[in-house]
Every structure is written in C-alpha cells, then in structure tokens.
Structure 1
Amino acid sequence: MFFKYSICFISFFFLFFLMLLMFMMMMFFIMNNMVIMLEWEVISFNSISVMMSILLDWMSLLFMMFVLLISSVVIYYSKSYMSSEMNLNRFIMLVLLFVFSMILLIISPNIISILLGWDGLGLVSYCLVIYYQNIKSYNAGMLTALSNRVGDVFILMVIAWMLNYGSWNYIFYLEMMKNDIQMTIIGVMIIMAAMTKSAQIPFSSWLPAAMAAPTPVSALVHSSTLVTAGVYLLIRFNLLLKDMFFLKILLLLSGLTMFMAGISANYEFDLKKIIALSTLSQLGLMMSILSMGMSDLAFFHLLTHAMFKALLFMCAGVIIHMMSDLQDIRFMGGISNFIPLTSLCMNISNLALCGIPFLAGFYSKDLMLEMISMSNINMFVYMLYYISTGLTMFYTIRLMMYLMVNDYNLLSIFNLYEEDYVMLKSMFILLFMSLVSGSFLMWMIFYDPYMIYLPFNMKMMVIYVVIMGLLLGYLVSNMKIYSLNKFLLSYKLSNFLCLMWFMPSLSTYGVSYFFLKLGQNLLKNIDMGWSEMYSGQGMYNILKNYSIMYNFYQMNNFKIYLFSFVMWMMILLFILFL
C-alpha cells in the first residue's frame, strides 16, 4: 500500500521540481533573449552520423513548464481519485510516458524526433482511453487511435519529402525555403497532421469519444498534451505557413469546428462530454487565429486555456465521484450546498472559459476577438467567431444552472460527502493559476502592448454576445422554453445539431458501412450464390437429379422403356425425312 502511494508522491515532486527549474530557465532566456540548440551524436558509422537535436527557447520552456505543472497536479489528484484502483502504478507510469512524449515533441527542432513524440502521444493515449476495459472504451480507443494514425501518416510523408534536403532539422528551412514548391507541399501535410491531432472538422469525432478515459487523463489530454500538439506544431511552422492558400481553408474549417462544438454542447447532457466539446470549441478558436497569422496570440490562449480546462475536468471528476459515477447533469442540481469549495473552483474555471474580465481566459480571448475585429476578414468568419463566443457563454451558464441552481434530482437517498482534501489541494493550485496566469503571461509574452482602435459598438460586441448567451443559457436551463425546440426545429434538424453534424456516425459507421455491405453482398451473391451454383453444391444437385431420374426409369415397368424407344424412333424418322 505504501509503495502504491509513494510512486504518486515521487512523480509529483519530481515533475514539480522540474517545472520550477523550467520556470527559472525560461525567465533567464526571456530576459537575455536567448535560444540554445543542443546536438548530441547518438551514433557515427562510416560517413553516417545520427544526431539528436534539442531546441530550448522561451516558447518551448514556457510550454514545458505548463505541461509539467498540470501533469504534476494531475498525478497528485490521481492519488485520491484512483485510490480504489488496483494497478495505480501502471496508471502513473502511463501518465508519465504521456508527459515525456509531449516534452519530446515540444523540444524537437527535428521532424524525426517530432514523429517519436507524436506517435508516443497516439500510442499512450490509446492505452489510457481503453484503461477501463469495456466495449465503450475499446470502441473509443480504436476511434482515437485510427483518427490519429491519419496525422502520423502525414508526418511520415513529410519525412519522405524532406529527403530532398540535407537534414531533417526543419527549423533551418522555414524562412529560406519558403517559396520552394516542396516546402509548400510539406506545409500542407503539416496542416493536415495538425488538424487530425487537434480534432478539426472532419476529424472531430474522436475527441468527445476519448472521454472514456479516467477523468485525470481527460484533464491532462484536454488541457496541455494530446490535443494541443497540433496547435503547437503549427505555431512552430508558422513562418512557412504564412500567406498559404490552404490556411484560408483551415480558417473556414476551424471556424465551423468552433461553431459546431458550441451548438452540440448545448444539446449534450453528459458532464464530461460538455467540457470535451468546449475544448473542441477552444481548439477551433486557436486554429482559426493561427490561420490568420497570429501565432503568438494562439500560443497565449493555448497556455491560459490549459489552466482552467484542467481545473474544470478535475471539478467534474469530484462531482462524478460524489454522484456515484453518474455523469448525467439532469440528475444533478444544488450541489453548491454540499461541496462549496469544488463549486467555487468549477464556477471560476467556467467564468474564465467564458472570458469574464480579469480571469485567465479574458486576457487571451478578448485580445483575440479585438484583433479579429481589426482584421480584414469577411462577414461570415467574423460572425462565426462572435456567435461561437456567445455559444460558449450559453452552454456554460446552462451547465452551471443544472449543477448549482436547479433542484437536486438524484433518484437515490442523499449520498453527498465532504470534499477530499488531496483533490482540493491540487485544484487550488490550478485555481490560483486560473486567476493569475492571464495577466502573468500577458506581461511576459508581449513586450509591446497591442494598439487596438475600434468603434464603440465593435468594441462592445463581445459584451453583447456574452449577455445574449447568458440570457439564453438561463432560459434554456430553466426547462421552460426547452420544449420550444420541437416547434422551432424539425426533429431531423435538431438531431443533426446535437449529434455533432453526424460526424461520429460518418467517421465510424460511414467508413465501415460500405465495406461491410460490400462484404455481405459478395458473400450472398458470390460465395453463397454463383460460385455455389457452378461448383460443389451445383454439381451435386445436377448429379442427384439425374440419378433420381434414371432410378425412376429403372424401377418402373417395361412400357416406359418401350414408349421412350417409340418416341426416339419417331424423332429419328422425322429428322431423316427433313
């Protein structure tokens, strides 16, 4: 028992110490404007040398610091959350492997070592999603693994295309080879790989399915590791991707992802799926701002979002535990009376997600929306951004009303208990970061303030959509106007909106249905059809029928033979006379 818990503490302290080290290094690098590139010769054989490269700059160190902070807190949280788990050591080892895969991806200026980290994330995420071994987890794990394999194939193709150059250190080619057609093809492949990892349309269906993993894993995956890998890769490649036509397509797809996730979250009743869809919406926001060329803003939002999203999942984990592993928000309500501290953390992280002033999310989200208002973009994309922001407020208020305000609806007797202090301590670390990380990063990343000059109504546009979302969320969660859906929308349309635009069906049944149907038709028509008719079964039937006929002749009396003889004679005579 002691060893079972000691591995949690050792991992927590090791990662936390590493995080402090990264923080001090990052501050030193920023103040001295430093970049260090380390190369280590792994093997030298004849004229071939295999090098391992590591890039340390303020960006990789800052991101590593956030990944290590969240993972250390998640491991500490798991000590309590997974306390009844028999194989806790295996779980912690998988989480550590996951974190180190992400770190390898962050510090790599080389496409080969990026593939190692990228594939490591895909493989370990599969192991974590199927951790609770049941049919739902296996299906979700397979969907996650296969969706991510598409991105892995694109990275492999990038490696093949880079054979045209002298080395796989892509960081040297971004600026000078920008106009080369091969580099353009590489850029398109990198965008496609990032779209699969960050779950943009049409690869969105795996992200809510990955909720089958334990909640601490969800907190890690959805904040700073798996889904952010694609965004981080595009931030690193942004010098190459600027002014590419394909980015316009990415802008449209990521805007639609943001919009689709916001709508689907309003129809969802599974607590973890609502938070997963909010992650999808924020990823759409990061990818769309990246496709407009503002990589520093995307990185800023990536870090602030990591803090409050990890906290949100941790709070959800406490609530699910308390509700005897029930995740349906219709059974919850009034929980702020029973677990006030968790409710406090949940509400603050939810408000940070909405971009309420002076919380972490506000600094990045408000700056992004104001930069979009100043940009030269069309009305459709502009409205997608603002409607999606309103939808974020909509589903957040709906969730808070269902959890905190509505009546307690659980069918059994009250089984709510006071919070676990191990979980609370880990949540308070992230609560503090959700409050201060926005301003802290704002001062650190942006040396010069952005000059934003907008008309009054455009400046207030964010406030307008947030108030609109708040009112709609309040009205819908009171259940009074939810039945209006039946009148306002047809059944098929509301089904289309709540099932993520049929994307899970298309990416699972849609991919397998035609192959299975073809297989069924081949079996019916070939194996059990024509081939049966002309081979074994057919031959057997023909011979059997002939033998029955001959037997009938032989077993009957002489007149049949006589009659048949007369018939044959008549036929022969008829032929001869003709």
Structure 2
Amino acid sequence: MVWKTSMHLCSMIFLLFFSVSSFVLGVFFMFNKISFVVEWDILGINSTFIVATYVFDWMSLVFMSFVMFISSMVLFYSGGYMEGDYNMDRFIYLVLAFVLSMVFLIISPNLISILLGWDGLGLVSYALVIYYQNEKSANAGMLTVLSNRVGDVAILLSISLMFSLGGWNFIYYVFYLEDSGCMILKMLVILAAMTKSAQIPFSAWLPAAMAAPTPVSALVHSSTLVTAGVYLLVRFSPAFADSTCLPILLLISSLTMFMSGLGANFEYDLKKVIALSTLSQLGVMLSILSLGFADLAFFHLLTHALFKALLFMCAGVIIHNVKEYQDVRCMGGLIVYMPLTCMCMNLANLALCGMPFLAGFYSKDLILEVAFMNHINMISFFLYVVSTMLTVCYTFRLIYYSMTGSFNLGGFSNVDDSGYIMTTPMLCLSVGAVLGGALLSWSIFPECYMICLSHFMKNLVLLVSVLGGLLGYYLNIMSVNFGLNSQLLYFPTVVSGSMWFLPFMSTYNGSKVALKVSHNYSKILDKGWSEKMGGQGLFKVLGMLSSGYQLTQDNSFKLFLKMTLVGIFIVLF
C-alpha cells in the first residue's frame, strides 16, 4: 500500500510541476507573441530524412498545462477512488501513457508525428475502458476502438494526400489550402475530428466509454481523448476559411448538440448524463468553429475542461457513497449528508449552464451571442436555442434527483463526504471553475468582441436558461417524465432517450452488415482473385516453369524428341 500511495503522489507532483511551468511559459509566449518550431533529425539515409517536429506556442503550452493539471488532480483523486484495487500501479501507468499520448498530439504540427499521439490515445483508451474486465466493458471498449479507427484511417489517407504539398508539417500549408485542390483532404480531416469528438453518426462510443473507472472518465471527457478532434480542427482552422465543408459541419455539430441534450433528459445513469453533457458541449465547440471562430472554440475547450473534470469527480464520490449505484433515482437528499461534494457539484453544474461569472459563462455566453450575430439559418438557430434550454433542463433534473428531495437509498447507509484524498482535488478544480473563465478571458481576449444584438436577442440566452431550469426541476417534481411512458408518447420517448438509435445501429446492425461485407470481401478477393493473381497463382506458374526447366537439365530423350519435331514443323511450314 505504501508503494501504491507514493506512486500516485509522485506522479501527481511531477505533472503539477510541469503544468505550472508550461502555463507560465505559455502566458509569456502569448503576451510576447513568441513561437518555436523544433525539428529533430532522427535518421538520414542518402537524401531521405526522418524528422520529428514539435511546435511550442501559447496555444500548445496552455492546453498542455491544462491537460497536466487535470491529470495531476485525477491521479491524486485515484489514490482514494482506486484504493482497494489490486492493480493500482498498472492503472497509473495507463493514465500516464494516456497523458503522454495527448501531449504528443498537442505539440505535433506534423501529420505523421501526430499519429504517435492520435493512435496512442485510441490504444490506451481501449485498455482503460476494458479495465474492469467484464463483458460490458469489453463490448464498450471494442465499440470505442473501432469507432476511432475510422478517424485513424482518415488521418492515414490525409498523409498520402499531403504528398502533393511537399511536406507533412500542416502548420506551414493551412493558409494556402483551397477547396479546388484540397477538398478531399479537408473532408478527411473533418471526418477524423468527428470520430474523435463523437459527432453524429459516431456518437455511440462516448456514453459506452463510461464503462471505464470514473477517474478515467474525468480525464477523457475534460481534456484528452474527446478534445483531440476539436484541437486538430483548431490547428487546421485557417484552411477552412470560406470552405464549403463548414455548413455541413455546422449542421452535424448542431444536431449532435440537440440529440445529446434531448437524450440526457431521459437518462437515469449518473455518469451517462454527464457523458451526454460532454457530447453537447463538443457540439457547441465544433459549431462555433464551423462559423469561423476557432479562438472561441479553443476558449470553451479550456473552460469546459475545468468544470467537467470536477463534475465527474463529484459523481465518483457520490457513486462510492451510495453503494456503487449509478441510477439517480436511488439517490436524493444528498445535500444533507454530503454538503462539500454537493457544493462542488453545484458549482460545476452552474458553470455548465453558463451561470454569470462562473467559468462556463465567459465562453458559452460569448459563443451564443457571436452565433446569433452571424448569418446562420433558422435550423441552426433553433438548435442552438433549444440545446441551451435542454442543457439547463437536464442539469436541474440531475440536481433534483441527486441532491434534493427525499433520501431514496434505504437504511443502513453511511453517506458522508470522503476523506481529503478525494475532496482536495475537487476543491482545487472548484477554484478553476469559479476563476478560470475570467482569467482566460482577460488573457486570450485582451480586446473585447464587439457584440451588437437587439434587446430581445441579448436576453434570449437568459430567458431560455431560466425556462429550461424551471422545466427540468418542476416537471420532475410533478413526475411528468413517468407519465411520458404512456402509449401515446412511448415511441418519441424511446427515440429521444436512445440517442436516435445510434448505439443500436453502431453495434448490432452495424456489426452484422460489416461482418457480411468483410466475409464477401475475404471470399472474393483475399481467398479469390488475390490468391489466383497474387502469391498462390505466382507460385503455381513458377512451379510449372521450374519443372520444365528441370526437364531440360535432365537431358530427357522424350523432351529432345518433342522439341525436334516442333522444330521440323516450324521449318516446313
């Protein structure tokens, strides 16, 4: 036990030191407009060089500091959450490998070297999702890794298409990529980002990945795996200026935002509700990025990381205390027994809703106002407004079920705030959830955005937020959601609560179609024409030729006679 405890503490101190150093350096680079690109020639053969390229600018350094800070808090938190685990050292090694993969992805401006982090995230996330070694975890891990392989293939195809540009350091070429010659490359990059950030139709793996331990969920859903796609598009954003790909991305991300917000209002699993809220916020980031505001998407990425990690940590403490139940209907009245945890969870929830002067307010309110100022169609505008209302709705529904009301767990329950090992990182992240948005806003945007909206549009965000909060709380007090299971509204309820059947289509039906296609492909190509025209066919032809050659070497009389007759026939005729 001493080894396990000291190991997670050493890892936490190591990451915290690098987080502070990276943040100070990033702020210095930001104010002085400094960037460094480091190239390391690993190997050179004749005129071919294998080069590792790393970029150090304010964006990569600040994001790296956030990843390391949240990872250090997660590792410290894991010392209490995973205390009874027999493989604590293996868990910490996996988390450190996960963080290292994300760091490589952040500082790589090269499409080949970015694969080191991109594939590393997919591999280690699979190992973490199947950590508990049961059938549910195995299925969730397989869905996660196969969904992410689609994005990996898109990156590999993008590498081949970048041959025409003369290099793979995309930061040098993003300003010159036009739709006429690089449309397929842009579409592949968007496809890769959509799979990593779980946009429709790849959304099913994100709630399924909740099979991982809660500290992993806090790390994955705040600053690592799901944010990799957003970060890649932020780096590629100059290439998408006035591109015809952006309206498609806007529609898909807006639909993802709406679908996940709707699904969270019908979900009863505590971790899946929070996972669907992550999916909704990823839709917000990609939708504002598709409108051309990559700086706002990056700003929301940082603020969201702080309160989402806090939200998962609070959920982990609650699950630990309520006999490992994750159904919110088995909770209730926890504010009396767990005041510190509930305070931190309320902070994270209110920051998620965009409560004024908390972290989420500075990014989310600005994103909505900038979106309302732009020339977006009525469908996107409607999805923005309704998704904002649904976010507040499922947040207050979660508050009603878990913190207020009557205690539903039953007798013989010892529910209280856990020890300092789990509450200390929660308090540290609470400070970030309160102050992080303001500090980042003053740093990243020294010059304010010019917002010019009508009185109604300016107050629309506040209006739909209040309406969503009232609906989420009072409709559940009146048990209206139970009445929705009537025969009249049964099908819309099932469709809304099942993420529009995406998990079903991604697993059972999707696997049936994929297996059938791959079987036919194997039968016709791998075991058919590829064998006849490939290795086996070549082997057969070479065997026949070598047999004939062997006959000539044996000085066979029959062969000599046959060749003589053929020669006479050719001479005569």
Question: TM-score, with normalisation over the residues of structure 1?
Answer: 0.88
Instruction: Map residues 217-366 of structure 1 onto 2, 5 A cutoff.
Output: 217-366=216-365
In 2, distance between residues paired with 1:302 and 1:25?
A: 20
8 Å CA contact 2:339–2:417 kept in 1: the answer is no
Give the aligned partner of residue 444 of structure 1. 443
In 2, distance between residues paired with 1:359 and 1:418?
A: 24
Which is worse superposed, 496-505 or 405-414? 405-414
**What CA deviation, in whole Å up to 9, does each residue of 1:353-389 have, x standing for no partner?**
0000000000000001111111111111111001100
Give the aligned partner of residue 124 of structure 1. 124
Are positions 1:65 and 2:76 aligned together? no
Query: SS where residue 245 of structure 1 aligns?
Result: coil
8 Å CA contact 2:261–2:391 kept in 1: the answer is yes
RMSD after superposition = 1.6
Give the aligned partner of residue 538 of structure 2. none
In 1, distance between residues paired with 2:482 and 2:56?
A: 55
In 1, distance between residues paired with 2:411 and 2:194?
A: 44
Alpha-carbon distance, 1:179 to partner: 5.0
In 2, distance between residues paired with 1:349 and 1:17?
A: 25
Q: 1:133 to 1:177 in 2, by over 3 A?
A: same
Query: SS where residue 508 of structure 1 aligns?
Result: helix
Give the aligned partner of residue 485 of structure 1. 484
Which is worse superposed, 505-514 or 344-353? 505-514
Give the aligned partner of residue 191 of structure 1. 190
**What CA deviation, in whole Å up to 9, does each residue of 1:412-464 have, x standing for no partner?**
42221342211111111100000001000000011210111111110000011
In 2, distance between residues paired with 1:487 and 1:475?
A: 20
Instruction: Map residues 155-194 of structure 1 onto 2, 5 A cutoff.
Output: 155-178=155-178, 181=181, 183-194=182-193
Residue 113 of structure 1 aligns with an amino acid whose one-letter code is S
Give the aligned partner of residue 29 of structure 1. 29
8 Å CA contact 2:334–2:407 kept in 1: the answer is yes
Residue 42 of structure 1 aligns with an amino acid whose one-letter code is I
Which is worse superposed, 95-104 or 413-422? 413-422
Residue 29 of structure 1 aligns with an amino acid whose one-letter code is F
Give the aligned partner of residue 51 of structure 2. 51
**What CA deviation, in whole Å up to 9, does each residue of 1:446-496 have, x standing for no partner?**
121011111111000001101110111112221432234245953122111
**What CA deviation, in whole Å up to 9, does each residue of 1:328-370 have, x standing for no partner?**
0001001111111000000010000000000000000000111
Residue 157 of structure 2 aligns with an amino acid whose one-letter code is M
Give the aligned partner of residue 414 of structure 1. 413
Give the aligned partner of residue 527 of structure 1. none
Give the aligned partner of residue 11 of structure 1. 11
Residue 124 of structure 2 aligns with an amino acid whose one-letter code is V
In 2, distance between residues paired with 1:337 and 1:486?
A: 32
Q: 1:185 to 1:88 in 2, by over 3 A?
A: same
Query: SS where residue 415 of structure 1 aligns?
Result: coil
Query: SS where residue 267 of structure 1 aligns?
Result: coil
In 2, distance between residues paired with 1:419 and 1:515?
A: 46
Alpha-carbon distance, 1:165 to partner: 2.7
- Structure 1 gap ranges (5+): 522-578
Query: SS where residue 223 of structure 1 aligns?
Result: coil
Residue 278 of structure 1 aligns with an amino acid whose one-letter code is S
Give the aligned partner of residue 567 of structure 1. none
Instruction: Map residues 557-572 of structure 1 onto 2, 5 A cutoff.
Output: none
Paired residue total: 520
Give the aligned partner of residue 402 of structure 2. 403
Residue 186 of structure 1 aligns with an amino acid whose one-letter code is L
Give the aligned partner of residue 140 of structure 1. 140
In 2, distance between residues paired with 1:104 and 1:418?
A: 37
In 2, distance between residues paired with 1:261 and 1:519?
A: 31
In 2, distance between residues paired with 1:131 and 1:318?
A: 19
Q: 1:424 to 1:105 in 2, by over 3 A?
A: same
Alpha-carbon distance, 1:80 to partner: 0.7
In 1, distance between residues paired with 2:513 and 2:166?
A: 44
Q: 1:240 to 1:474 in 2, by over 3 A?
A: same
Which is worse superposed, 135-144 or 442-451? 442-451
Give the aligned partner of residue 536 of structure 1. none
Q: 1:406 to 1:518 in 2, by over 3 A?
A: same
Q: 1:247 to 1:405 in 2, by over 3 A?
A: same
8 Å CA contact 2:222–2:305 kept in 1: the answer is yes
In 1, distance between residues paired with 2:13 and 2:346?
A: 28
Q: 1:412 to 1:133 in 2, by over 3 A?
A: farther
Alpha-carbon distance, 1:513 to partner: 3.1
Query: SS where residue 202 of structure 1 aligns?
Result: coil
Alpha-carbon distance, 1:175 to partner: 1.1
**What CA deviation, in whole Å up to 9, does each residue of 1:239-261 have, x standing for no partner?**
10121112111100110000000
Give the aligned partner of residue 92 of structure 1. 92
Residue 230 of structure 2 aligns with an amino acid whose one-letter code is V
In 2, distance between residues paired with 1:25 and 1:478?
A: 50
Alpha-carbon distance, 1:519 to partner: 11
Which is worse superposed, 168-177 or 153-162? 168-177
Give the aligned partner of residue 40 of structure 1. 40
In 1, distance between residues paired with 2:366 and 2:312?
A: 25
Query: SS where residue 237 of structure 1 aligns?
Result: helix
In 1, distance between residues paired with 2:316 and 2:261?
A: 22
In 1, distance between residues paired with 2:517 and 2:166?
A: 46
Alpha-carbon distance, 1:509 to partner: 1.1
In 1, distance between residues paired with 2:473 and 2:361?
A: 21
8 Å CA contact 2:333–2:405 kept in 1: the answer is yes
Q: Percent identity?
A: 55
**What CA deviation, in whole Å up to 9, does each residue of 1:494-533 have, x standing for no partner?**
1111100000001111212346789999xxxxxxxxxxxx
Query: SS where residue 504 of structure 1 aligns?
Result: helix
In 2, distance between residues paired with 1:291 and 1:489?
A: 38
Query: SS where residue 143 of structure 1 aligns?
Result: helix
Query: SS where residue 18 of structure 2 aligns?
Result: helix
Give the aligned partner of residue 549 of structure 2. none
Q: 1:340 to 1:168 in 2, by over 3 A?
A: same
Are positions 1:114 and 2:140 aligned together? no
Q: 1:89 to 1:242 in 2, by over 3 A?
A: same
Give the aligned partner of residue 433 of structure 2. 434
Q: 1:514 to 1:89 in 2, by over 3 A?
A: same
Residue 131 of structure 2 aligns with an amino acid whose one-letter code is Y
Q: 1:269 to 1:194 in 2, by over 3 A?
A: same
Residue 271 of structure 2 aligns with an amino acid whose one-letter code is K
Give the aligned partner of residue 504 of structure 2. 505
Q: 1:380 to 1:419 in 2, by over 3 A?
A: same
Query: SS where residue 54 of structure 1 aligns?
Result: strand
Question: TM-score, with normalisation over the residues of structure 2?
Answer: 0.89
In 2, distance between residues paired with 1:18 and 1:283?
A: 27
**What CA deviation, in whole Å up to 9, does each residue of 1:252-271 have, x standing for no partner?**
01100000000100000000
- Structure 2 gap ranges (5+): 521-573
Q: If you compute each CA radius of gyration, which structure gives the higher value, 1 or 2?
A: 1
Query: SS where residue 333 of structure 1 aligns?
Result: coil
Q: 1:142 to 1:520 in 2, by over 3 A?
A: closer
In 2, distance between residues paired with 1:457 and 1:484?
A: 34
